[in-house]
Structure formats: structure tokens, C-alpha cells
Amino acid sequence: MKALVVYFSFEGNTKLVAEKISEAIKGDLVELKTSKVYPKEGVGKFFWGGKSVLFGEEPELINPPIDMGQYDTVIIGTPVWAGSFAPPIKSLISQYHIAGKRIGIFACHGGGGAAKCFDKLKKALPGNEFLGQIDFVEPKRKSEENCRKAFTWASGFSSL
């Protein structure tokens, strides 16, 4: 099994969890980077993030191309923005044909919206086998607890 953990992290929360999951499954790790810079403070960060989701934006990814053909398992991580996945994940799904894969999904948030986010992400990724989903509340604030939770969740994939 060759696995990829691909994620977008806005404030480092999703990155923390993605690194722990990658460690657990011994998978490749790719952090999505965009040409668009989102405001990190104040009302602007919520306004621009929410607007980007509501308008279906697909920001340009500036990562080197990902060879999805070499992976049979793909774990996708996102912060929850306006009850959905972050726009860079939408860009990933649009740019790459992700089908026939075993998919795990995780989301990080400050207190809600993960269920809707998971539903939307599954709908955007038809033709895949979903292995599981998990959400994390404020991963950096509860770092030890969330790292343990992430490692335990992902460790179950290595036996599949």
C-alpha cells in the first residue's frame, strides 16, 4: 500500500494532525500551497474564507504536480470553512482525477461544521472507497490529545 496525506492548513492545526497521520501510516505528505494569500487576522479572515467557499473559488495551487497514480490510499485534511472544506481542497479535486482510491478524510475546526464538511467532501469525490472520517477540535490548543487521536485513527489504515 502506498499512501498520501494531502492537506491544506490555514493556521497550523491541520498541519499538526496531517503530520501525525503521515507518521502513523508511513505515507507521503503534501501541504497544499496557493498563490492566493488569505488574511490571517480579524474579521477579514472569516469574511474572505467564507466568501471563498460560498463562491466556489478554486485558488491556484503552486505545489509541484502530484502523481496520484502511485497512491492507492489518499488521506485528505482540511479546516472547516463555512460548513465546508477549504477552497484549496476544491482545487485539488478539480485538478486531479481522484477515483478508485481508498479515501480517509479529516477536518479541523473550532467547534462545529465537520459533519456537513464530510458530506460535501464525499459528494465531491465519487467513485472512491471511504475508509473513515474524523474531526479534531482546536488541534494546536489540545495538541497531545489530538496527536494521540490522529495516530490511533490512522494506524487502523495500515492493516487494511
CATH number for the domain including 151?
3.40.50.360
Range of the domain at 65: 3-159
Contact call for residues 117 and 145 (beta carbons, < 8 A) = no
The number of distinct structural domains making up the chain is: 1
The runs of H, that is alpha helices, within the chain are 13-25, 42-54, 87-95, 114-124, 143-155
What pTM was computed for the model?
0.91
Kindly give the confidence (pLDDT) of every residue in the chain, 160 residues in length, as a single tens digit, with 9 standing for 90 and above: 699 999 999 889 999 999 999 999 999 999 999 987 775 666 655 656 665 766 678 889 999 999 999 999 999 999 998 889 999 999 999 999 899 999 999 999 988 889 999 999 999 999 999 999 999 999 989 889 999 999 999 988 865 5
